[in-house]
Structure 1
Amino acid sequence: MASLPVDITLNILSRLPVKSLVRSRCVCKSWNSLIRSPSFIKMHLNHWSNFPGVDVYNYADDCVPQLAMYDPEKSQHHDLDLPIDRPRGMNIEVIGSCNGVLCLSTYNEDNHDDSKIFLWNPFINELESLPESAYPVWRSIGFGWNDSAGGGLGEFKVVNINVTGKCPDKSSQVEVFSQRKNSWSQLGNTLPPACRNHHLGAQVYVQNFICWCPCVRTDPRYRYAMKAWLVLFDVSKEEFHEEELPDTMPGEDKYIAVLDGCLSVIAQSRQPEFKGYEVWVMKEFGSFHSWTKLYTIATSYDPCHRPLGFTSSRKLLFMRNFYIGLRFGSLTYLVLYDHTRDEFDSFSRRNRKGSFYKSRMVNHVASLVSPRAYREIPVA
């Protein structure tokens, strides 16, 4: 390949998987320099983003928190060897994934001060521990990418949200980590007042916005009827916004996800005429009138089902929980729902009691992006 023009060499190398490229860096100094260059990392990411990725989820087996990766094309999953020391009692949670980098949170339920946030690329095995934040790290965390950072360079951003006080005088403490500055900045009491009474839960990243599960509040415009809203955080402007959901969407529990690049809500219905979930998508991000119901999923109360999100193969991953009596407690495991066949498939992953509400899943793409240096990739 030494006689080939540079642009052709780049094009060929960009089509290789990450593991092959990591080995190729040892071929010679010129290849090492080329593969590590920001322009090549961007080219490689743009190419592989057009193909189905993998899915990363956290679960618990024999009371030990685990992180696993699922490859939908091969129908295979395996545990990840996480390079983080986890003392007894320490849990781990997947916050989000962006440009091939995972945001992870470790937390101790008995000592919130013993919690940390990490950025990790499992394909190149590079880990970055974020500086200690001013506020306790709990479970209201957001992760996204700011492609308009200073000088046109992109950077990862992490949002840490703490809510203190009692109703009706709750206040929020919001801080944002900038990868470019490698530090936290305080935004103050900026979380919308109505959202301070709700645990934000899981998040997704769509078109420069971190989006959290809906909160429900009374709306004086509609004679104080209960309305559901999404909570959005603009990563570039560092501002919160709210997005109203359609009245025709079921009013029970809602779960946020991404389907084919579109913001999605999986809404639970407990109405006598239908018990299960409705899958909705916002076909045009930011347009209220583009919300569309795609299909329904019939489920029962026993076992209980909780959606984690859509896999890279468009199947919906559920946590399923069976109650098997006072002596044995409950059994929780993962299942996949295939809309094309309207069937659930066993996922062969059993979880300990208590993980039903703590497991999360994110779509992930293999990349060369390093979590250690914000200049690694200027995404446009």
Structure 2
Amino acid sequence: MESSDGPELPSQVTCFEILPRLPSKSLMRFRCVCKSWSSLTRNPSFVSAHQNLGCNKHTHLLLTASDKTTKQQHFFSLQINQQESLTPAAHLLTLQTPPTENERLYTAQCMNGLACLYLSNTSAPKQTDPNHPVRIFNPCTRESLSLPHTSPASCTAHVTHHFGYSPLTNEYKVLQVQKLIPALGDVHFMFKVFKMGASLWRHIEVDLNDISFDPLNFPFHRRSVCVNGAIHWMHGTPNPIVVFDNEDEKFRVIPLPEDYTCFTHLVSYPVGNIVGVGGYLGLIGDRSMMKNEAMGLWILKDYENLNWVKEIIVFPRWAVSGYAVPFCSIHTDERLLQSSGLSRQNPACMKVILYNMKNESLRRSDIVFPDKWAYLTRTRFKLLTSYEESIEPLIR
């Protein structure tokens, strides 16, 4: 005879059909209930179900500001909610920055809700620093993982890092590129990979004579874009796009669109002319459109067949400070635009510009910071990246 409460649902249905539909923050609270619930929410199958069900597809923005007095860098997040407005910014993390004359700050790249934080300053030699390691950070769970220190070679000039993900193997990797300039001899490179879950960096062999681009003139220091399981850089016209495959760990190239016209934008944009657009690879350009307050955006809709689709973004110049470029696509099917800086009219309030491709309309939304952090606006907040919340554990 069944109880008055009715029959119980099978645990498989509860664990992998119902619970994964809950918001990330609710699941984080469940981790404190008991060990079994904590274990469940860290289970790879549960994490995958939560991500695939898509019940948490609200865009979040990751911002940062530095306090030069204390040598601290603060990270904040906010959400673009269903009402298409911005939630107040929340403080996530504080990191100490190196006490050097040349300001070296952390920048970030996000993949599936995980952020890779690393020091970025190409003018600083021997950039690896045991006191300021590369970190993997989950803004949703607030978990942070410091990667082991990797000592640079004595002749290292610059070190750069790039965050990637392989959907085939479900592996997160950090690619480290060291540019070596010996006292005598030719300039060469050292490539290392750190796979999340490993304990050490792994050296990978790259035959520079067997790759289809000139590494000596390649801007490895530029920020990359990871889509389709590969890391992408723009080499610069008339050269192609350089690709590092996160699965086989090989370099290759893909050609630019035939009608693409590349130029350097007038804004201080971290990625250059290559951007991520809703999970696709995108290129911005077309100098001829600037006078008409428009911009060309090429999107690689068919990655396998290299089929590029061109979109035209038209916007009034009054809407932004300087010439804007797409920063990311958000869950409302709009493009978030970034100019040379986020405008500040109120010391504790900043604005972002959102562009609707269907009706070619713009709207501005305010970013509001709690009074406690308003003093940081003197050093200017910087928009680092966008992400969707994830419960991906850093340590299982």
**TM-score computed with the length of structure 2 as normaliser:** 0.73
TM-aligned CA distance change 1:164 to 1:27, over 3 Å = closer
Match of 1:210 in 2: 231
Which structure 1 residue ranges, 5 or more long, are not aligned?
A: 217-225, 324-332, 374-380
| Residue 137 of structure 2 corresponds to residue 124 of structure 1 | no
**Contact map agreement 2:315 2:361 (CA 8 A) in 1:** no
Match of 1:343 in 2: 362
Match of 1:366 in 2: 389
CA distance in structure 1 between the aligned counterparts of 2:207 and 2:248, rounded to whole angstroms: 13
Match of 2:76 among 37, 43, 68: 68
Match of 1:319 among 339, 345, 352: 339
| Residue 198 of structure 2 corresponds to residue 174 of structure 1 | no
Identity between Structure 1 and Structure 2 (%): 23
SS in 2 for 1:320: coil
**Contact map agreement 2:227 2:281 (CA 8 A) in 1:** yes
Match of 2:217 in 1: 197
Q: Which amino acid aligns with 1:38?
A: P
Total equivalences in the alignment: 343
Match of 1:42 among 22, 44, 48: 48
Match of 1:5 among 7, 10, 25: 10
Match of 1:24 in 2: 30
CA distance in structure 2 between the aligned counterparts of 1:300 and 1:16, rounded to whole angstroms: 41
SS in 2 for 1:104: strand
Match of 1:106 among 119, 134, 138: 119
CA distance in structure 2 between the aligned counterparts of 1:157 and 1:247, rounded to whole angstroms: 32
CA distance in structure 2 between the aligned counterparts of 1:367 and 1:102, rounded to whole angstroms: 11
Match of 2:371 in 1: none
CA distance in structure 2 between the aligned counterparts of 1:240 and 1:187, rounded to whole angstroms: 11
CA distance in structure 1 between the aligned counterparts of 2:367 and 2:61, rounded to whole angstroms: 15
| Residue 106 of structure 2 corresponds to residue 92 of structure 1 | yes
Match of 1:157 among 173, 178, 183: 173
Match of 1:237 in 2: 248
Match of 1:143 in 2: 163
1:282 Cα deviation from its structure 2 partner: 0.7
CA distance in structure 1 between the aligned counterparts of 2:171 and 2:298, rounded to whole angstroms: 31
**TM-align CA RMSD:** 3.6
| Residue 62 of structure 2 corresponds to residue 54 of structure 1 | no
Q: Which amino acid aligns with 1:100?
A: G
**Contact map agreement 1:172 1:190 (CA 8 A) in 2:** no
Q: Which amino acid aligns with 1:345?
A: R
Q: How does 1:228-377 map to 2 (within 5 A)?
A: 228-253=239-264, 254-267=272-285, 269=287, 274=292, 276-288=294-306, 290-297=307-314, 303-307=321-325, 309-312=327-330, 313=332, 314-320=334-340, 335-339=352-356, 340-343=359-362, 345=364, 347-348=366-367, 361-373=384-396
CA distance in structure 1 between the aligned counterparts of 2:117 and 2:94, rounded to whole angstroms: 12
Deviations 1:108-147 (A, max 9, x none): 7656243521001121121100011243796732212234
CA distance in structure 1 between the aligned counterparts of 2:124 and 2:239, rounded to whole angstroms: 32
CA distance in structure 2 between the aligned counterparts of 1:310 and 1:102, rounded to whole angstroms: 15
**Contact map agreement 1:316 1:337 (CA 8 A) in 2:** yes
TM-aligned CA distance change 1:286 to 1:347, over 3 Å = farther
Of residues 245-254 and 302-311 in structure 1, the stretch that sits farther from structure 2 once superposed is 302-311
Which structure's residues are more often strand, by fraction? Answer: 1
TM-aligned CA distance change 1:65 to 1:319, over 3 Å = farther
